[in-house]
Chain A
Amino acid sequence: MSGNRQIVVTGIGVVTACGGDRETFWQSLTSGTTGIAPIDPPQPLISFPNVAACSDFDPEARFDVRMHRKLDRSAQFGLAAADEAIAHSGIEWDDNLRGRTGVIAGCSIGGSHTQDLCYERLYKLNKVRSEPMAVPNIMPSASTSQISMKYGFRGPSFTMTTACASSGHALGMALWMLRTGQLDVAVSGGHEAMLNLGSLLAWDGLRVVSSSVCKPFADKRPGMVLGEGGAMLVLETLESARARGATIYAELAGFGMNADAHHLTAPSLEGPTGAIQAALADAGLAPTDIEYINAHGTGTSGNDMNEIAAIKSAFGDHAHKLAISSTKSMHGHTIGAAGGIEAAATVLALHHGILPPTINSSPLDPACDLDVIPDVARKQDISAALSNSFAFGGLNAVLAFKKA
């Protein structure tokens, strides 16, 4: 056991509205292609027009009927992303390694579609009995269990739930458990699916959802766009990755987290600033080492202005020298999956030397006067990057990645 093992990313799996697999996702991000589209079928009760739905995702093609029935859409995204990441890693597991591999996922809401259907059956259709799979489908940890069972992974495994930072926290915990030798391999990321009528209506009530598209950091930005999806990374030690000759996509170098202790929906300045500083310290990086930030960048007035202020506060003058983008402008805000999807985007940016843009961000809000990459991806080799996740309720998670 060692407290300072270096942890690297050797597998990536992604399901989003702008790409149902890693390759398509990256092609969309680097070409500025959005997955945001009108709600389908239309929902007259909902005041906002658009979501980022994974409309090409076909569960019947991926899972047999028995399995399909045991998986809420949220868990389907987690399992599909894990399948892709595990295949991508090329790891050949033996029984010993399965015992040393864990699944650590983030999910905010759990089996929201199953819950919505249960309520519809009870209150609208007046059905007197519930679907028997409702309970195991609704539990937020269902996907973690399914991945563990499918692959026989018996190491420490759990699901974290911290709203929009869930999978940022999950990846951070995976890093720390790998670093300290409690795990040798982790499948970690997150998944969320909640684009059903009940959830859409609940979000409508918060008055934070955009009346058009998602325009992070733009002047007069209209708000966030809800998305769905999943992403998983395969994490292992640098030593094991090198020993098996694996392709290393990036190093997950540090994790910082804290709580605002401030407000249920409005962020504080000190919380995000401190979480960024904690991630840098954990990674052993100086502020000047960071060249790119994949921002939380929800597109709401409150988040984006505050996040820019926090970046200025944490980086000082260097804030003006680093590039920033919010890929939520393309895949929407995927809530509990956001940290995982954006970690995947950050790793791919480091690996390919291409920084994805923030589409719809021009003209910029004068209060967001940093280098927000507009519309077109930028070719730039970088050596270190952050991925920010700042949740409702002030729970902050920041991941630091280094080029491998």
Chain B
Amino acid sequence: MSDSSLSTQERVLKAMSNVITSDELQVESSLEELGVDSLAAIEILFEVEEEFDINISGDSNKMHRLKTVRDVVEGVERLLAGDEASFWGEETEEEKQAAIDAAAAAASPDSAKDETPGEAPSA
């Protein structure tokens, strides 16, 4: 159950502690150093959604934009402030370039062949 007397930051840490058992879990911790892999990432998203009863749309491929626990806290704060699309923060330069490349490839005649799948769990 959520406890509204806690700050957003405290609630994010509490939600994440269901996934990350390390004593190193603090607001400045790097997600990479906490060992957050692709499965842990989707579990963290689930726990945060449950804690705040919010929907974080989009797939976990955007997880790399979040470098630290503070990035998750700030994403939740933006989402709670009413900007639903902003949880993940700004698009990175690499993503912008990848989008341009993909558009160019789509325009070329034999585009169907080299679609690169993301890192999402594949069946």
Which A residues fall within an 8 A CB radius of B? 64-66, 69-70, 129, 131-133, 135-136
Contacts and interface: CB of A to CB of B under 8 A. Distances in A.
B43 interface: yes
Nearest to B21: A65
B21 A132 contact: no
Interface string B1-43: 0000000000000000001010000000000000000011011
A133 B49 contact: no
Closest 3 CB pairs of A and B: A132-B42, A132-B46, A65-B21
B43 A69 contact: yes
B45 interface: yes
Given A65-B21, A66-B21, A133 B50 contact: no
A136 B42 CA distance: 13
A336 to B, nearest CB: 22
Contacts of A133: 39, 43
23 contacts: A64-B21, A65-B21, A66-B19, A66-B21, A66-B40, A69-B19, A69-B43, A70-B39, A129-B46, A129-B49, A129-B50, A129-B55, A131-B46, A132-B39, A132-B42, A132-B43, A132-B45, A132-B46, A133-B39, A133-B43, A135-B121, A136-B39, A136-B121
A69 B18 CA distance: 10
Main secondary structure of the interface of B (DSSP, over half): helix
A358 B42 CA distance: 49
Interface in B59-92: none
A150 to B, nearest CB: 16
Contacts, number: 23
A65 B39 CA distance: 14
B24 to A, nearest CB: 14
A135 B40 CA distance: 14
Interface of B: 19, 21, 39-40, 42-43, 45-46, 49-50, 55, 121
- Residue among A69, A70, A132, A136 with most chain B CB within 10 A: A132
Give chain A's interface secondary structure class. loop
A136 B43 CA distance: 13
Nearest to B42: A132
Contacts of B46: 129, 131-132
Nearest to B40: A66
A378 to B, nearest CB: 50
A142 to B, nearest CB: 13
Nearest to A70: B39
Contacts of A66: 19, 21, 40
B91 to A, nearest CB: 24
Nearest to B50: A129
B54 to A, nearest CB: 10
Given A70-B39, A129-B50, A132-B39, 12 more contacts: A64-B21, A66-B21, A69-B43, A129-B49, A131-B46, A132-B42, A132-B43, A132-B45, A132-B46, A133-B43, A135-B121, A136-B121
B98 to A, nearest CB: 25
Q: Find the residue from A64, A129, A135 having the highest chain B CB count within 10 A.
A: A129
A227 to B, nearest CB: 31
A129 B39 CA distance: 16
A133 to B, nearest CB: 7
Contacts of B43: 69, 132-133
Contacts of B50: 129
Nearest to A130: B46
B90 to A, nearest CB: 25
Nearest to B49: A129
A64 B20 CA distance: 11
A132 B46 CA distance: 7
A128 B115 CA distance: 32
A137 to B, nearest CB: 11
User: In the complex, which of the residues A65, A66, A131 has the most CB atoms of chain B within 10 Å of its own CB atom?
Assistant: A66
Nearest to B56: A129
Nearest to A139: B123
B87 to A, nearest CB: 15
A66 B42 CA distance: 13
A226 B51 CA distance: 37
Nearest to B60: A132
B119 to A, nearest CB: 15
Contacts of A64: 21
Contacts of B40: 66
Nearest to A65: B21
